[in-house]
Each structure stands twice: as C-alpha cells, then as structure tokens.
Amino acid sequence: RLNFDDEIISRRTVRKGMTKCMLYASYGHPIVENRTVGSWGTHIQHVYGRYNEFIYTENGRVTGWQD
C-alpha cells in the first residue's frame, strides 16, 4: 500500500523527502529524466517544462529543486 499526502498532491506541490511516485502523482511524468548512477546510488534530474522546474531525486526521494 502506498501512502500519499493528498493535500500536497492536490495543490500540485513538491517537498523534500517525498517519493518519486508521489512526485509523479503531484506533477505528472517529466518531459525528460537525466539519470546519473554512481556508488552512492541513482541521482535523477526530472525536467518539467510546463512548470519551468527541475526536481532532483536520489534513490527515489526528492532532495531538491530549481524553479
């Protein structure tokens, strides 16, 4: 069972620590994902064109963003 924060998702917002699945539920799928894999795990830059925003995840959790 997945737990979602309905308020965050209904307001189409993002916060640190949310899962990649929650990010997709809130923002939809990105237009591009730039993936870097290293000894620390997987780092992904999610590019959202309609929001002019870049959201970063590490190992499936949001770590930050640029808007």
Q: Who has greater pLDDT, 12 or 41?
A: 41
Q: Who has greater pLDDT, 8 or 26?
A: 26
d(CA 21, CA 39): 23
pLDDT in tens, 27-67: 999 999 999 999 989 999 999 987 689 999 999 999 999 97
Tell if the pTM clears 0.85, that is, is over it: no
d(CA 21, CA 27): 10
What pLDDT is attached to residue 49? Answer: 85
Rounded to 5 degrees, φ, ψ at 40 are: -80, -20
In this model, does residue 5 exceed pLDDT 90?
A: no
